[in-house]
Structure 1
Amino acid sequence: MKTKRIKFIALLAVLIIILSMLSGCALFSNEIGKMKEALMGRTAIVQTYDEESNIIDSIKGSSISISSEDKFNSKDEEGNTINKSSVINLTIGGKSMVHVGSSLILYEEGLTDIFNEYSKTVDIQNIDRSTPFVNRMVNDMKNFTTGKSRVVLIRSQSGKPLATFAGNKVSYFATGIDKSTGILIDGKYLFIYRCDYTIYDTELLE
């Protein structure tokens, strides 16, 4: 009886160690985020953009979840999916939004769009083109980027910058939704749909 108890305690200790190791890894954090999204949703901002990176609409809400609209999947005669749907379905506070086509980002409350702050103080159209745009923005916005190890620049499908985020711990993941990427920035979720993006080590831009 005593031997069984010792084995049980040892097994429990091993499980605790494994879970504590996993809790520090980005993959585990992402899975926790998916669970949170499925059960409670997120408080986040959803924005869509035209090719010139102008904001078409901006919606902020609680209990947000996002998924692929699978009924638009292309299937063969045997019912196997051959082309995944590019249509996405967002639920915002119990209300539905269906989207396809233009660039879209969803970023969790707590993330700051550096590009949005930068464009309030700088005439983007007349910026000195002899200095690379991202380098100049990062150096001008030191208060947002100091101590951050990676910068995520997001562009429209025509290549024009539309949003920028920075964080110390940045990881990216497949989402299961066509033409999209999930990114974790310091534990906060960023969803990118039909956008170009680049992730830089901040030191490269300073």
Structure 2
Amino acid sequence: MRRHKKKIIGILFVVVISLSGCQNARMWFKDFEQSFKGLNMTIRTYDDESQIIDEITGKSVSIERDTDFDTAEDSADSSVLRVSVGGKELHHVGSSMVVAEKGLENVFDDYATKYDLADQDRSIPIVNKMVDEFKNAFTGKKKVVLIRSQRGYPLATYAGDKVSLYQTDVPKSTGILIDGSYLFIYRCDYTIYDLELLE
């Protein structure tokens, strides 16, 4: 019986270790960490011309949809954010917001030039989609995230070797895992390029 328990524990250990290399598992742990202890993040809000309105940095940041503003009990349509920063709280709705975990570097100046992209390689779109979905879930891809204000003015750029996109429970927002760090984009225009398109 004791040997049987050791085998089960060993199998569970191997499963946990193998899943830790999976982007979806990393995102699950990131969500768990954000819910229970918060993340070390910088919150920036922007006006329509990409000028910073305010900036707040905190060691225990958590972002969620404020369900008090849902229009019905069974809907999840509130665009009001409830952001906890070290035990204090702020509410936000409307203007563009980018929340970046410590360690993410805004490389806006490196990618500030405009690109005119042309890729003449032939491929099979349905196969490409399947490969991209697999990589998003398990390994991530080398990508560049160009973020703009709602009027199209560039405001931030992030890049990484293992980038994956995730749905959040907040309307008009996207969660992005970049090399193990979390980026939250709210009410922004953005384009995410495979890095190879820009090289």
Tell me the TM-score normalized by structure 1: 0.79
Question: 1: distance between equivalents of 2:145 and 2:79?
Answer: 23
Q: Cα RMSD between the aligned structures?
A: 2.0
The alpha-carbon deviation at position 133 of structure 1 amounts to: 7.8
Question: 2: distance between equivalents of 1:44 and 1:17?
Answer: 31
Pair 56,133 (structure 1): closer, same or farther in 2 beyond 3 Å? farther
Asked if 1:80 corresponds to 2:93, the answer is: no
Asked if 1:61 corresponds to 2:58, the answer is: yes
Asked if 1:97 corresponds to 2:90, the answer is: yes
> Match for 1:23: what amino acid?
S
Residue-by-residue CA offset, 1:155-182 (whole Å, 9 max, x unaligned): 1112221110011100111111111111
Task: Report % sequence identity.
Answer: 46
Aligned to 1:46: 43
Structure 1 residues not aligned, in runs of 5+: 135-147
> Match for 1:60: what amino acid?
T
Asked if 1:70 corresponds to 2:64, the answer is: no
Structure 2 residues not aligned, in runs of 5+: 118-140
Aligned to 2:12: 15
Q: What is the SS of the residue equivalent to 1:203? A: helix
Asked if 1:202 corresponds to 2:192, the answer is: no
1:159 to 148, 152, 156: 152
Aligned to 1:31: 28
Aligned to 2:176: 183
The alpha-carbon deviation at position 152 of structure 1 amounts to: 0.8
Aligned residues: 176
The alpha-carbon deviation at position 151 of structure 1 amounts to: 0.8
Greater radius of gyration (CA): 1
Pair 14,41 (structure 1): closer, same or farther in 2 beyond 3 Å? same
